[in-house]
């Protein structure tokens, strides 16, 4: 991604006033760039304060649960709502949980060489997913 693209995103973000709108704007802007199939942000928070977690009968009652807070992307061939925040991916998959648990970024340059991370191989092939990048978000020195 070029500097001009990041500058454009930064300017757009400076105009947002609510966290939900800010996160939605971040993933929407990132999802517009060629080569980005899907952009998502998970936040850590109590399960009891999450409407989606409370609606699940088997939701863990934990203080530090992951919550998919923003999602955007473009399927290659229509269909699929990649802005959805409910479903199985709401609490994150193995990659996202590892990033959260260890507080360290994950970069997989070629998922064909490191396929243990592929949760849905048919989807990855269909969408021509080649790599994955994830990074913990920090604010005030703490992971959010």
pLDDT tens across 78-107, in order?
766 778 777 777 888 888 888 988 999 988
CA proximity to 65, closest of 56, 74, 75: 56
* Nearest-angstrom CA–CA distance, 140 and 144: 9
DSSP E strand stretches across 1-113: 38-45, 65-73, 106-108
Q: Tell me which of 117 and 109 has the higher pLDDT.
A: 109
* Nearest-angstrom CA–CA distance, 97 and 95: 6
pLDDT higher than threshold 60 for residue 1: no
Least confident of 16-20, 58-62, 86-90, 91-95: 58-62
* Nearest-angstrom CA–CA distance, 80 and 122: 14
Mean pLDDT of the chain: 81
pTM for the whole structure: 0.80
- Strand, helix or coil for residue 43: strand
Helix, strand counts (H, E) of the chain: 5, 6
């Amino acid at each position: 991604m070029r500097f001009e693209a990041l500058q454009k995103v930064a300017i757009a973000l400076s105009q947002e006033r609510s966290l939900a709108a800010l996160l939605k704007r971040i993933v929407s802007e990132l999802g517009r760039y060629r080569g980005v199939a899907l952009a998502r942000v998970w936040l850590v928070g109590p399960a009891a304060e999450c409407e989606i977690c409370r609606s699940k009968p088997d939701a863990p009652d934990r203080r530090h649960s992951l919550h998919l807070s923003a999602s955007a992307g473009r399927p290659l061939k229509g269909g699929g709502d990649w802005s959805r925040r409910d479903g199985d991916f709401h609490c994150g998959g193995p990659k996202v949980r590892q990033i959260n648990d260890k507080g360290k970024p994950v970069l997989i340059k070629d998922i064909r060489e490191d396929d243990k991370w592929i949760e849905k191989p048919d989807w990855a092939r269909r969408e021509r997913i080649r790599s994955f990048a994830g990074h913990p978000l920090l604010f005030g020195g703490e992971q959010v």
